[in-house]
Structure 1
Amino acid sequence: MDHTLLEQQLKQLLIRECDKEDDIDWQSIADDEPLFGSKSRIAMDSLDALQVSLALQQHYGVRIEGAKDGRRILGSIASIADYIRSSTK
């Protein structure tokens, strides 16, 4: 899958699923920007993580099992993209 296209799609999905369309322009999100925590502009919470996980499963056919793996995988756009690429080979 094309590198930049996947990241662009993930940023758009993230903004939509976390209901941040009015707050953040998807194009301003860096691939390695943290999605959780106090340093994050996205400031995902557990409900957002669940929504994003379900959307990833629906769109890309990948499952994220458990909170520990979820937090690692959903840590940034780059980590989500890496997970999708490694899961769909």
Structure 2
Amino acid sequence: MSQCLNPDCLVINPVTHKFCQKCGQKLWLKDRYQALRLIGQGGFGKTFLAVDLDKPSQSRCVIKQFFPQGQGTGALDKAAELFKEEAKRLDDLGNHNE
């Protein structure tokens, strides 16, 4: 199954579909990552279990979606900064010296 990433939809679609049956949004992020299901959410966004379709192994990964709710401008700026810092740290975790 493929999870729609539209925050107002989130419908589960058949794995063979490239567009959401309900809202019509593309299901594959950057034509590479396919969200399988929602695994968590909080005040600043949602996290989805996903598959990287660009790799031969089609390895599992996560999609972190920044979607803050009910925050003032200062809090929103701080949340965006923290989200970017977390993304950098997660990217560093994926880099290994071989």
Q: Which has the higher contact order (CA 8 A, sep 6+)?
A: 1
Structure number with the higher helix fraction is: 1
Task: Give TM-score, length-normalised by structure 2.
Answer: 0.26
Task: Give TM-score, length-normalised by structure 1.
Answer: 0.28
